[in-house]
Structures are given as C-alpha cells and as structure tokens.
Amino acid sequence: MKSFGIRTIRIAARWHLIESSPGAYDFRSLEGLLDAADANEVEVVLDVLHFGWPDHIDVLSMDFANHFAKFTCALSNYLTSRAVLTPFITPVNEISYVAWAGGEKGCISPFVVNRGDELKRNLVRAAIAASRVLLNEIPGVRLISPEPAIHIVGNPDIPGDEEEAAAYTAAQYQSWDMLSGALAPELGGRPEYLDLLGVNFYARNEWSHNGGPLSRNDHRFRAFRDILSEIWTRYRRQMFIAETGTEDEARSSWFRYVCDEVWAARSHGIPILGICLYPVLNHAGWDDDRHCYNGLFDYPSARGEREVYEPLAEELLDQQKRFAERSRANYDEHEHRSDLLLASPLELRVSASSASDESLRPPTTSLFLRGAAV
C-alpha cells in the first residue's frame, strides 16, 4: 500500500474475537494489525463495531448498549496503553444497513425480519453509549458515523410508487438524525455525537423502487455531487467517502467517477476530506463464496504473492496526482478567501489535528484503503 502513496487504512476491532468469553477481553487479534500498521508507518481509522458481536450478546436486548459501552471502554484503555494515535474512530458502522439487512430482511446477523426499526434504535443507543466513552477516554477523538448514501426512483405509472421511493430515500438520514438528537431524542442523541460523516457509495446505491439498479447513463441516476451537496446542506458536517468501489473491469472507471464527483463537490465548498477505496483485497462472496474481483490485490498465490489489478492501480496513482494539482491551483486562485478549509485531519497521513504552526494551505483530498472487516 505504501508503494501507492497510501498511509491510512480503515479497519475494525473484531468484537467477537476480542470478547469471546463474557467480560474477558483479548486484544491479540487487533494487536497484530496495529503492530503491522506501526511497523509500516500506516495510520489507522478504527471501527469499534463494523459487523458482528459475540455470540453471548443479544443485539436486540436492552442490555446491548451497556455491553458495548464496556467493550468500548476496554478498547479505549487498550489503545491508550499502547500510546496508539487513533483519533478517528467509528463507534458503529452503517447502522441503517445493518438494521435493514439484519433486522428487516434477515440476511445477516441477527437474521430477523420485520424488526428493522427496533434494531436501528438499539444500534443507535449503542453508538451513543460508545460515543460518551470515547469522548471521555481518548483526548481529541473524532467520531465517525458512516452510512450508505442512496437514491431511489419510483415508477410514475404505479400510483403512490414515487412517494414510497421518496420516503425510502429520506429514511437514509434516520440514523444520523437519531445520533444528533434531532429524531427520537429519548435515545440520548446529542449534536456532538454526529461529528465526521462517512458516506458509503457504490454503483448499486441507486435503484428503481421494486426494480433493479440504475446505470450511470440512466437519466434518473442522480449525480453523486448532488447527493453530497444535499448531505452537506442538511448537516453542515465535514465528511469523507468511507467506502466506494465496484467489481471486475468497472473498478477503475467507477473510482474515476467518484473522484471527479468529489472534486466537483469540493469546488463548491463542500468539505470532503478523503476517499476510502473498498476493499483492499479481493474476497469471497458473502452468500455464495464466489471470487469477487473488486479489490486492488487478488488472492495470494502459493508463495504468498498477490497480483495487483493494474487498471485500478494506475487510476489510483493518477488521481493522487490530479488531486494534488487541483488543490494547488485552487489555492493559488483563491489565496485570499477567508472561507478556505484549514489543514484537514484526513490527509495522506492521518494524525492529530492541526497545530498553530502548520500551514493553512487547504488540504488535498486523501486516498486511502479500507481493509475487509472479517
């Protein structure tokens, strides 16, 4: 990854491995990842909960938030004992998606149906409980809230279909609204719990209601820059693209599209601080074990070597140059504007917030990779 100029990764603390027995925390599974990151001077964006929890914990119980808060406290103590600089932490990843897939459709854990709202609210409670711990235990921590950005269109020939599609699209904001306290304030949300927004966006994130995905050449496909603008207008929070990618030969062209759209949004003053390419590695399909060709690196050979997907690698390197050139040009053109962004907390190296002696040159948007949360 360093050979591609990437010094930041996004990984998860795998709760089910760390607390395999109630109340006993074994951080060796995370320690190996952090040691490797330290040895290679790669900084970490850490998810406390990506997908999954220990078998002895019921995610739908009222005790779930307390269990998660205790785990978060143990994790915080472990990180500070290592003097690990991890100022960017996700309490709970993709609450909306887990609630839909695990609580509504039953295709991932906890494998229940028609309980999506119940699961969403419980995950929000857990995220709020973890946020309190992180803000108290880790000085200067920045809380990340990743959610999928979607756009759904209805069929005007079906009565009520467009209204249903619009309501479905608007529901993407519920988790963020709950975290901030704007919705369901009884859950304990507060504005400070909604800090950095992670926007997850894939080629399949736009579709026809009760139909299939929209292609980019479909006139109903909404430009990603417009989606980002809507999120910015609604929340006025800094954000980054927390996941993006696609499969097969479309990998490089999709990544180019996302980068172009991010730059277009940034040029209109939207503070997008980074792009996280997902995944680093090709992996097996979730439900069929097929070989998914969606990463930068393929499966390892018998000798442990991984083939690089060259078109995506070339696009990645080219986009880094383009963002650097565009940022320099933008700075020169608007040098005296007072509303320029200051040093970004998500540059090519993720480190502490900017100090008083750092340059006020606006940041280049960084490109970094996310490891698969196993």
Q: Is the pLDDT of residue 370 over 60?
A: no
Average pLDDT, the chain: 88
Does the predicted TM-score (pTM) go above 0.85?
A: yes
DSSP H helical ranges for the chain:
15-18, 28-39, 64-82, 95-98, 116-137, 161-170, 174-180, 224-235, 251-267, 310-333
Q: How many domains does the chain have?
A: 1
Average pLDDT over residues 67-89: 90
Model pLDDT, residue 339: 30
How far apart CA 277 and CA 320 sit, in angstroms, is 13
Range of lowest pLDDT (121-135, 249-263, 312-326): 312-326
Average pLDDT over residues 151-163: 95
Q: Is the pLDDT of residue 341 over 60?
A: no
pLDDT band at residue 343, thresholds of 50, 70 and 90?
very low
Provide the pairing of β-strand 43-49 with 8-12: parallel
Q: Is the pLDDT of residue 105 over 50?
A: yes
Residues in the chain: 374
Model pLDDT, residue 367: 57
pLDDT band at residue 149, thresholds of 50, 70 and 90?
very high
Cβ atoms within 10 Å of 296's Cβ, excluding its own = 24
Q: What is the domain extent for residue 148?
A: 2-370
Whether 87 contacts 347, CB under 8 Å: no
Q: Is the pLDDT of residue 244 over 80?
A: yes
Q: Which helix (H) or strand (E) holds 46?
A: strand 43-49
Model pLDDT, residue 217: 95
Model pLDDT, residue 287: 85
How far apart CA 300 and CA 171 sit, in angstroms, is 40
Q: For residue 102, what are the β-bridge partners? A: none
Model pLDDT, residue 45: 95
Model pLDDT, residue 368: 56
Reference 199, options 142, 234, 239; nearest CA is 239
CATH number, residue 75: 3.20.20.80
Range of lowest pLDDT (24-28, 60-64, 276-280, 366-370): 366-370
Q: For residue 369, what are the β-bridge partners? A: 9, 277
Average pLDDT over residues 264-278: 95
